[in-house]
Amino acid sequence: MNTITRWALTLLAGFLLIAAWPVSSLTLLIFVAWIPLLVLAALPLKKTTFFWHIFIAMLIWNTGTTWWIWNSTDVGTIAAITANSLLMCIPWLGYRTFLKKYGNRIGYCALLFFWMSFEYIHLNWQISWPWLSLGNVFSLHPNWVQWYEYTGIGGGTLLIVATNIFLYECMLKIRKPAAERKLTKPVIALTTLAIFVIGFAMYYQNRAATKPDQTLEVVIVQPNINPYAKFTTDSMAAQIERLVSLSRQQLDSNTRLLVWPETAMSAGDWQENTRNNSLYQPVFALLAQYPKVSLLSGIELFVPYGAEKRTNSARSDGRGGYYDAMNAAMMVNANTTPQYYYKSKLVPGVETLPDFLQVMAPLFEQFGGTSGGYGKSASSAVFPTAEGGGQIAPIICYESIYGEYVGTYVKKGANLLAIITNDGWWGNTPGHKQHLSFARLRAIETRKWIVRSANTGISAIINDRGEIVDTRPWDTMAAIKFSVPLNKQSTVYVALGDFLYKLTLNLGILTLCWHLWHWLKQRLQKK
């Protein structure tokens, strides 16, 4: 195969991945997007040559689907896209090694194990960025993946990788003489898997929605405030006034929950002073007028630690003490002490830095990050409403793309998922649309309704089948009132979490150990 053809395959793979990704409607292309890379892996190329083909394909995919990060940080975007593209090359390099040494069957297994291990690690380490986990690709088609209540997005990734391998094998068989076109055991297994998954999809498409235990009247506010101006002192009073005014237009005697977006209360005061802050007095006056209403709001605040530096993110107050800045959620009503949850899944490079990059903190601050980073909660939390029986999961922005983590709220008794976010940093780009669509998968995985309050949009009500039943468009000042069903049911995925990822990670480790043993055995035999 000549150089031009090889690079054409590389470009084809990158652009197929872009074309399949939300918010495109060409989702089915994901089932053939890896075939050009499988063709390249089978060629007798040098390792460095193969690496550059894979890297460019991954770079095209990352750039074409997450370019919108540029609107919030330029240099940070280049670093993030380049780093993610490099990390995505690792499973492919492992696949090529096993393919060349052990043949197709073991090579295919290695690709599946290594890619899913990569996605799982990317969900859980300090520079986590699971935006492009393959199972997210079906987020615009929730009726296709109702079975995610068993597997989560890991099942989607497994299906995609297996289908690409299956179709690639079919392509190879077609090119052979008729007498040699025999179905191998791996192909039979992959076909069986595909039939099994399609059967589940058809069953769940006709499955009735869960009957609610009760309903909770919720008001969601979308204030449409410029995120780049919302932290200036002069505008904070006007922001609170807008939030209160939009809320008052929808609240009534039946309302039990009011939801404001991430950092809606942005004064940045000490936590213990929240009720006394002069900027927030209109908020508590509103709650006094509606004593049965609980407010869930994003809030920026500081938590003091005294003379002890309790966390790596703690900052000096200049007087011998330490404190953490928190991107938090607060639940409060007229008669109770506020409850707080601090965002746990922080955005790498912007809200937190991994330990090994702390020395570069001033550089990240210059490019739009935060030098000290935010503090965080150790685990999820559930807030009960004052009335109405709501057990609310306060999910802050980026946290909503972590399926297993969202499931921990349900394990703690949550019967309603509340996503509060501020997607306006990216402007009117695919970013906020992708973020909304990924939330639909969380509804399926947990079989819980979702209320989503987004500062500039898109706010929405999502049912337990991942369907958007009410919404307000981007760049609109609005509010939604809706009686949301609550239910106590759980799912296999909530109980087991990312078990498919964990299984393939263990199989990947065993595969690497077997390869190491085989390599050592050969070395000893040569001696």
In this predicted model, what pLDDT tens digit does every residue of 229-240 receive, in sequence order?
776 656 888 999
Structure confidence at residue 364 as a pLDDT band (50, 70, 90): very low
Rounded Cα distance, 445 and 376, in Å: 25
Please determine, looking at this structure, whether the domain spanning 214-496 carries the CATH number 3.40.50.300.
no
Each residue of 272-300: pLDDT tens digit?
999 999 999 999 999 999 999 999 999 99
Rounded Cα distance, 37 and 93, in Å: 11
DSSP notation for 270-315: EGGGGGG-GGGHHHHHHHHHSTTPEEEEEEEEEEEEET---STT-E
What crossing angle do the helices spanning 153-174 and 185-205 adopt, rounded to 10°? Answer: 130
Strands (E), 380-503: 383-384, 391-396, 416-421, 450-454, 459-462, 468-472, 478-486
Type of residue at 246? L
Tell me which H or E stretch contains 129: none
Chain mean pLDDT for the chain: 90
Question: Which tokens belong to 332?
Answer: 């409060």
Which of 147-151, 347-351, 482-486, 512-516 has the weakest average pLDDT? 347-351
pLDDT at position 99 over 80 = yes
pLDDT at position 109 over 50 = yes
Rounded Cα distance, 173 and 168, in Å: 9
Please, how many CA atoms are within 13 Å of residue 250, restricted to the half-sphere of its CB? Answer: 23
> Do 418 and 259 form a contact (C-beta atoms < 8 A)?
yes
Each residue of 205-258: pLDDT tens digit?
555 556 677 999 999 999 999 888 776 656 888 999 999 999 999 999 999 999
pLDDT at position 501 over 90 = yes
The predicted structure's pLDDT at residue 214: 92
Rounded Cα distance, 411 and 422, in Å: 26
Domain regions of the chain by residue span? 3-207+499-526, 214-496
3-state class of 224 per DSSP? coil
pTM given for the model: 0.90
The predicted structure's pLDDT at residue 70: 87
Q: Are strands 214-222 and 257-259 parallel, antiparallel or unpaired?
A: parallel
Each residue of 48-90: pLDDT tens digit?
999 999 999 999 999 999 999 988 778 888 989 999 999 999 9
Each residue of 415-428: pLDDT tens digit?
999 999 999 888 89
pLDDT at position 5 over 80 = yes
Rounded Cα distance, 187 and 130, in Å: 29
Mean pLDDT of 136-165: 96
3-state class of 108 per DSSP? helix
Sign of dihedral through CA atoms 35, 39, 42, 48? Answer: negative
> For the stretch 332-358, what's the b/e string if a residue is b when 16 or more beta carbons lie within 10 angstroms of its beta carbon?
bbbeeebbbbbbbbbbbbbbbbeeeee
